[in-house]
Amino acid sequence: MKKTYKIDVDCANCANLMEEAAKRTGGVKDCTVSFMTLKMKVEFEDGADAAEVMPRVRDNCRKVEADCEIYL
């Protein structure tokens, strides 16, 4: 399953760090973050519950970019 989320991030490098942090989160198969469109596209592993995975993605992203936001 794939879902797109609106994000708030300050720079392209921060967006790249968020993308890498999201990819390392359990339950995430792949992720792309676009600084230009301020969107995060997440592909979840089979059987993963997006509502359970995304709070962990947000926590991991905030470890690398404290003031980022992912609108769930």
Write out pLDDT tens, residues 39-67.
999 999 999 999 999 999 999 999 999 99
Measuring CA to CA, which residue among 31, 28, 51 is closest to residue 40? 31
Q: What is the pLDDT of residues 2-14, one digit of tens each?
A: 999 999 999 999 9
Number of CB atoms found within 10 A of residue 65's CB: 19
Check whether domain 2-71 has CATH 3.30.70.100, yes or no? yes
Q: How many CB atoms lie within 10 A of CB 42?
A: 26
pTM (two decimals): 0.93
Residue 1 confidence (pLDDT): 95
